[in-house]
Amino acid sequence: MELTKARVLILGMDGYLGWALYCYLRNKVNIVEGLDNFSRRRHVHEIGSESLFPLPAETGQECRPIYTHDLVYNPAKVHKFIEEFNPTTIIHFAEQPSAPFSMRNSSSAAGTQRNNVVGSLNLLWMLREHPHIHLVKLGTMGEYSDWIYKNNVEIPEANRIEVQYQDTDITIPTPRWAGSFYHWSKVFDSFNLEFACRLWGLSATDLNQGVVYGTRILGMADNELTRFDYDSYFGTVVNRFIVQSLTDIPLTVYGSGNQTRGYININDTMRAISLAIQNPPPKSTCRIVNQLTEVFSVNEIALMVQQLTGCAIESIDNPRLENEEHTYNPTFNKLEEWGLSDPHKMEQMLPSMLEDVKPFSSRILRDVIAPETKWTGRYYAH
């Protein structure tokens, strides 16, 4: 599909990626609209934090051009909007994205799965009536457990793999396992998505994304910055380290710091989604794309930030239950096949992140950075 002919609907447009994508696409596609229930703002406020970059009000003269709709509690209203807008592509960001938040208590765990699984199911039932719409859904590389893909076994970029069992070659769903109630919601989403595509002839791209970092997309004005979270629930390790380095707080490395994951700059995320829009899969197809461009351990990121700022690094008890010593060998070829060349390098992008954050250092809330929730259910005391 030609990008200039695309009619794009972004679900979850008030979020970190949603707002950035709107700013990226608004002058590239035929038309782009967005919906949100603003739950991300409420969840961050609930844990006592706020976006480091100030956000406009949800309503009023200065608000973002977002329609307030809810996939879980008022799906009929969303369905009506889809019918009237008639998008060629729906980008599904409308999910609670935090693993620590989902492990906070029973309410947060249930709320995460209700929002993510039920919301996505409602959307799939809507698309059953509109199978011409290409669904681009944000998944996560966190669906692939390191205890399954050990000994440097490749993480595939496919829904099915060939294995041998009892001397027989068989095809099975790509093995997945989660490490939090949030990640379980994404596993359920992936299976539901593929099932719906096979059942109803839908066309979908499941973007299994690594950790996204970056403060802005190219050309984004200072008054348009997307949200920047740095707290222990919603802040990524990169954001947390950036903020700690500017406030004389040692970079808190969980456990050994050898936990290794995939990363991608926000500009490359925008480019990848744009390429997905232009290259929809055939009907009855759920296409898996592993969306990352680099692989780092936590220690490697901490050292990059230390080299820029001279900050201290401190190892603390790991609040998560995870393997700290493991191999990590993801396959990520499809983005390059689509034409995503010369991806940004984290080492080169960290200085600009620091410069963007410095003017807002007076807004930093120091007491939201340290981890509060342990996966075992016990709480840290400050």
pLDDT tens, position by position, 179-232 = 999 999 999 999 999 999 999 999 999 999 999 999 999 999 999 999 999 999
* Residue 228 token pair: 């920047």
* Residue 191 is assigned to a structural domain of this protein: yes
* Eight-state DSSP code of residue 257: S
Q: Does 357 have pLDDT greater than 60?
A: yes
Q: What does pLDDT average to over the chain?
A: 96
**Domain that includes residue 71, residue range:** 3-229+262-293+327-343
* Residue 186 is assigned to a structural domain of this protein: yes
* Residue 197 token pair: 């595509």
Q: Structurally, how many domains does the chain consist of?
A: 1
Q: Does 318 have pLDDT greater than 90?
A: yes
Write down the pTM of the prediction: 0.96
* Residue 314 is assigned to a structural domain of this protein: no
pLDDT tens, position by position, 19-74 = 999 999 999 999 999 999 999 999 999 999 999 999 999 887 779 999 999 999 99
DSSP 119-144: HHHHHHHHHHT-TTSEEEEEEEGGGS
Number of other CB atoms surrounding residue 81 within 10 Å: 16
* Residue 112 is assigned to a structural domain of this protein: yes
**Residues with active-site annotation:** 140, 182, 186
* Residue 363 is assigned to a structural domain of this protein: no
The CATH number given to whatever domain includes residue 47 is 3.40.50.720
pLDDT tens, position by position, 63-122 = 999 999 999 999 999 999 999 999 999 999 999 999 999 999 999 999 999 999 999 999
* Residue 128 is assigned to a structural domain of this protein: yes
Tell which residue, 101, 28, 39, has the closest CA to residue 66: 39
Give the Å distances, CA to CA, from 14 to 9, 18, 73, 230, 306.
13, 6, 18, 17, 32
* Residue 352 is assigned to a structural domain of this protein: no
pLDDT cut 90: percent of the chain above it: 96
* Residue 135 is assigned to a structural domain of this protein: yes
Residue 161 pLDDT grade (very low, low, confident, very high; cuts 50, 70, 90): very high
Q: Does 376 have pLDDT greater than 90?
A: no
Three-state SS for 30? Answer: coil
